Amino acid sequence: TTDSRLADNVADNLDKFDVNESESLVIGRDFGITTDIQTSPAGTLYVVSLSGGAVYEVFPKSQLFVANLDGSQETPPVATNARGTATLLLDKDETSALVSLRFRNLTAAETFAKIHGPAAAGQTASPEFDLPSTGNFSDFKITLTPQQVSDLKAGLFYVNVRSAAFPAGEIRGQFGAAAQPSVVQLDVADPSVSEGAGSKTVNVIRLGDTSAAASVDYATSDGTASERTDYTTARGTLRFAPGETQKSFDVLITDDNLVEPSEGFVVTLSNPTGSATLNSPSSIALAILDNDTVPSAANPIDDSQFFVRQHYHDFLNREPDAAGLQFWTNEIESCGANAACREVKRVNVSAAFFLSIEFQNTGSLVQRLYRESFARQPRYNEFIPDTQEIGRGVVVGQGNWQQQLDANKQSFADAWVARPSFKSAFDSLSNFDFVNRLYANAGLTPATAERDALVSALDNKTKTRSRVLLDVSDNTAFTQQEFNPAFVLVEYFGYLRRNPDDPPDNNRSGYDFWLAKLNQFGGDFIAAEMVKAFISSTEYRKRFGQ
């Protein structure tokens, strides 16, 4: 049996025992510290704590049961948009369980939540357990009899959530043994966001067995809301370390001044890896609630703070830090009412985001990686998620931003060389040919010593192909060569949120014009009037107002 000192269910220094005592623990309930795992000759699994020298016997894993709730399973069925998920984690000794319940979109306030049984789907039974009537909750403990455990395993327990609108029950779901021990799902208590909120945080939770690493991709897509005018595309991968149960990401919201009805976009999870599988809800529609009541002839992009904030959204894929927002806003406002001064400052502030350390190490790096890998520029739908992935959690000047950025770049490069498109192009090449191909795609003729050093590092395994990929991307001649093409490309990606050859252009003549003009003026964007043209364009301004 488990020692009484573990009754707090917290793995800490009080849970240390002498090696000779060999106590029994349940992993994930009583013990969660990094361990050394050994197997006895008899096949029993033991865990040795690195922190206390204790030896623990490992019981079989707990059993997970899941119920997906909706109105169609009520008796009789109920027409409702409400949905929910309940999980029941049956303890290894099958005498108790931890219950979690999450639901959304009830027609009216919740009045009761209960577990009923025994009853099959379509049948009813008396309540067996009362659950908290305080909304979503996790880890509510119940005690079960052997007969109740038998009924649970037979699929004869169901969860019923009642509301003021449906006092007999609005949503119901039958408990069944989980097909997989670990599930990931969206966890959004309020599926709406005010247009003026700046961003909407979306939570993703992992339920069940969380002992292994897992990951899941997320992506936004348009509904009635448009990513050009109403919100900023969010795409990426959430990675759960062993034991982690919650991750989140932000969707940036654009506060235009148009009087319009609520508009929606969709967040979808996909491609779970590791031990995880998708659980409902894996897709959810989020509503942007308009905050404009009176039509306005003014365009918010003419407001200095709005202008700066939108640049953080469009180029750095994040909300502004307070110091940065104040600094760049003051740059423009220092002109007072001098219109000519304000115009110049707006151009300079805008260009500063492209020139920033943060963007050069994220967006510009992505441009160079596509060039050296595939001898082409990225498309908009490639550029945005890749840039967001490298920049995740990085705010230059705050905390350990340099270490975070370096780690992000290396992690991204490791994943890049594992992409099917990259493997197809490079896996069959020798190290010598691999390095030569990168330089050729980049349009560079490297010094022999430089090329040979990279080949030697690969042959000697002192560098990986992902590290060499980054080394070539940082080549000084390469960064200079790609600077102007990247600058022009990002005018389209950042300001217009599209490819250069998307409508209304339908070809690359506009891109070619601006690249030629920027080259003509030696990269002087002020003399070329490129930034000025984009931020004053009708297409850009119509993203935010009339």
CA distances (Å), origin 261, targets 198, 291, 545:
18, 10, 15
Coil, strand or helix at 83: strand
* pLDDT computed for residue 179 by the predictor: 58
pTM recorded for the entire structure: 0.69
Give the contacts of 347 (CB within 8 A, at least 6 positions apart). Answer: 525, 526, 531, 532, 535
8 A C-beta contact, residue 255 and residue 291: yes
Coil, strand or helix at 506: coil
Among the listed residues 139, 142, 152, 208, the one whose alpha carbon sits nearest the alpha carbon of residue 179: 208
CA distances (Å), origin 373, targets 144, 287, 446, 501, 519:
59, 39, 16, 22, 24
Among the listed residues 224, 222, 220, the one whose alpha carbon sits nearest the alpha carbon of residue 200: 220
* pLDDT computed for residue 8 by the predictor: 43
CATH topology of domain 63-177: Immunoglobulin-like (2.60.40)
Over its length of 546 residues, how does the chain's per-residue pLDDT go in tens digits? Answer: 334 444 444 444 344 333 333 334 434 434 443 344 443 333 334 444 434 444 444 444 578 899 999 999 999 999 999 999 999 999 988 899 999 999 999 999 999 999 999 999 999 999 999 998 778 888 899 999 999 999 999 999 999 999 999 999 999 999 998 755 688 999 888 899 999 999 999 999 988 788 889 999 999 999 999 999 999 999 999 999 998 999 999 999 999 988 899 999 999 999 999 878 898 899 999 999 999 888 888 999 999 999 999 999 999 999 999 999 999 999 999 999 999 999 999 999 999 999 999 999 999 999 999 999 999 999 999 999 999 999 999 999 999 999 999 999 999 999 999 999 999 999 999 999 999 999 999 999 999 999 999 999 999 999 999 999 999 999 999 999 999 999 999 999 999 999 999 999 999 999 999 999 999 999 999 999 999 999 999 999 999 987
The region, left, alpha or beta by phi > 0 then psi within -120 to 50, assigned to residue 172 is beta
* pLDDT computed for residue 189 by the predictor: 83
* pLDDT computed for residue 297 by the predictor: 86
The pLDDT tens digits of the residues spanning 122-169 come to 999 999 999 987 788 888 999 999 999 999 999 999 999 999 999 999
Q: Measure CA 359 to chain center.
A: 19
8 A C-beta contact, residue 108 and residue 66: no
Give the residue range(s) of CATH 2.60.40.2030 domains in the chain.
Answer: 182-289
Six-digit token pair at 376? Answer: 């082409």
The CA distance from 77 to 260, in Å, is 35
CATH number of 182-289: 2.60.40.2030
Place of tokens 């995740």: 392
Give the contacts of 429 (CB within 8 A, at least 6 positions apart). Answer: 437
8 A C-beta contact, residue 501 and residue 507: yes
Among the listed residues 214, 215, 216, 218, the one whose alpha carbon sits nearest the alpha carbon of residue 201: 218
The CA distance from 134 to 140, in Å, is 12
